[in-house]
Amino acid sequence: MEMRLEFDIHNTSLEELIQYCEDLYHDLELSYVKKWKEKKGAKAIGFMPVCVPRELIHAAGMLPVGIMGGIDGMEVVRGNAYFQSYICQIPRSTLELALTGKLDCLDGMIFPSICDVVRNMSGMWKLMFPQKYVKYLDLPQNREKQGREFYSGQLECLKKDFEEMAGSNITDDTLRSAIQLYNENRSVIDELYHVRSQYPSKVPSYHLYLLMRASNILEVREHTKLIEKYLSLVMANRDTEVKDKIRVVLTGLFCEQPPPILIKALENSGCYIIEDDWVLGSRYYEKPTDERKPLEGLVESTMNYSVSTATRYEGEKLKGGYLIERIKKLRADGVIFCAPSFCDPALLERPMLQKALLKEKIPFTSCQYSENASQMQTIREQTGTFSDSVRLWERA
């Protein structure tokens, strides 16, 4: 598949725009990245979930590329030879992509601290792809001044590394400009999420998911324009029909991504997804990053304004507060805990969140998936029953 680098965004229809996102999603060869590199004469840096400071990569004139494993239907053979049966799917498919040359266009990979599997992958990558730049990014779990200083030092190191790779300096101005672009991007993403929660029938979650996945690949300005165009197209649609579905928050999908058929199955089983945590790195900061002292701004965003997720330690805060706040704000009817199999952070977080929901009498159900799952019948039946029970009993 040959991806278009320039997409005629002004003259596109909604169908064409979604088709473009689907093409990007299926483009395991990363042909957009290859063409971008060719055109710009610049480098590209891959990163694993959940979040890395993409602003720094952009400021160095390089393209940040989110790598979130494979897609449904992708055959994993060589990747399986490196991971035991009880390890989740994302490291296998990611390694498969690399071993089959599909990630050759990436000049480096960053592995942020999510869990022990991804942590150890950083070392495996160093051994298996010694010609590539590889970095493990330890996000500070101590949010006091010690953590701030440590993380600041890590960003300084990254900055230096990127400068060497790109062959140019990252000045305060270039970093400031990158921060502004990502602030704008997060702002349109917020708008997209807001519109979906208001008009869930206008913004199917399948569309939203594809748009979010596109943020992994597209240059940030292109992605911002893409969402703006999408919003203008859906808002032009006067159809405001709302079906009798329940409004659910989906949680646990911050690392290994769900197959699109899972999202469709949930929405076809009587649920409007009005909040989720997939592709979380693209909406990781709750507030715009302060660009006045740019590097400090990035530290501040990570330390104080990043979203609540299972991989982050949150001090004395009781679990579930953030989730309940979102549920109330978005007028959700319930929660679907949807975690990848063998995902320690999500699965260990789940009982704590469930207990918090029980106290608030908020209904929930739970299921597990893997990125290559192809059968959704059981999940569809389960969430369908959940939807029915909420509509029949909770709302009454």
Partner 1 sequence: MTGQREKKDDSMRLQRTMLENYYEKLSRAKESGKKVVYTFVPGNLNELLTAFDVLAVHPEVNALQLGMRKKSDEYIIESENDGHSEDVCAYVKCHLGMMNKGGIGPTGTKIPPPDLLLLSYTGCATYLKWFELLRERYHCPIVMLHVPYVSENTIQASQIKYVADQIRDVVVPALEKLTGKKLDKEKLGKHLDTSARTESHLMDVWESAKHQPSPIDAFFGGVYYVGPIFGAFGGLSECEQYYLKLKEEVQERVQKTLGPMTPEGELKDQKWRVVIEGTPPWTHFREFWKMFYDEGAVVVSSSYTRVGGYYDEGFRHDSRKPFESMAEYCLSCYTNRSVSSRIDILERFIKEYKADGFLVNSTKSCNSFSSGQMLILKELERRTGKPGCFIESDLVDPRYFNTANIANRLYSYFQILERREGKRTR
Q: Please give the residue ranges that form the binding site for partner 1 (CB under 8 A).
A: 81-87, 91, 113-117, 119-124, 126-128, 135-136, 138, 140-142, 144, 146-147, 149-150, 153, 310-311, 313, 315-316, 318-319, 339, 341-345, 347-352, 354-355, 368
- Cα-only R_g, the chain: 20
Which amino acid is residue 267, in one-letter code? E
Nearer to partner 1, 73 or 321 (CB): 321
CB of 94 to partner 1, least distance (A): 13
Whichever of 12 and 142 has its CB closer to partner 1, that residue is: 142
CB of 240 to partner 1, least distance (A): 39
State in angstroms the smallest separation of the CB of 41 from partner 1: 30
Q: How far is the CB of 319 from partner 1 (least distance, A)?
A: 6
Provide the strand spans (E) within the chain: 44-47, 63-66, 108-112, 133-137, 246-251, 271-275, 334-340, 364-369
* Region class of 167: left (phi > 0), else alpha (psi between -120 and 50), else beta: left
> Measured from the CB atom, is 126 or 225 closer to partner 1?
126
State how beta strands 246-251 and 334-340 pair.
parallel
CB closer to partner 1, 92 vs 207: 92
Asked whether the beta carbons of 134 and 109 are under 8 A apart, the reply is yes
Residue number with CB closer to partner 1 (141 or 232): 141
Tell me, what amino acid is at 170?
I
Q: Which is nearer to partner 1, 64 or 140 (CB)?
A: 140
Give 210 or 343: the residue with its C-beta nearer to partner 1.
343
> Which residue's CB is nearer to partner 1, number 216 or number 372?
372
Q: How far, in Å, are 162, 172, 333, 337 from residue 149 at the CA level?
A: 20, 19, 41, 35
* Contact yes or no for 186/226 (Cβ under 8 A): no
Measured distance CA(55)–CA(53) in Å, rounded: 5
Task: Look up residue 247 and give its two tokens.
Answer: 């409004």
Least distance in angstroms from the C-beta of 257 to partner 1: 18
Nearer to partner 1, 80 or 180 (CB): 80
Q: Which is nearer to partner 1, 53 or 200 (CB)?
A: 53
Q: How far is CA 199 from the centre of its chain?
A: 22
| Residue 141 beta carbon to partner 1: minimum distance, rounded to whole angstroms | 4
- Minimum Å gap between C-beta 314 and partner 1 is 8
Give Cβ neighbours of residue 272 (< 8 Å, ≥ 6 apart): 200, 201, 205, 243, 245, 246, 247, 248
Taking Cα atoms as reference points, which of 211, 230, 237, 236 lies closest to residue 12? 230
Task: Give the three-class secondary structure for 12.
Answer: coil
Q: How far is the CB of 258 from partner 1 (least distance, A)?
A: 17
CB 242 to partner 1: min, Å: 33
Cα–Cα distance list, 219 to 209, 254, 301, 330, 375 (Å): 17, 21, 21, 30, 34
Which tokens hold the place of 218? 């597209």
In 3-state terms, what secondary structure has residue 72?
Answer: coil
CB of 156 to partner 1, least distance (A): 10
Selection from 214, 300, 251, 239 nearest residue 9 by Cα: 214
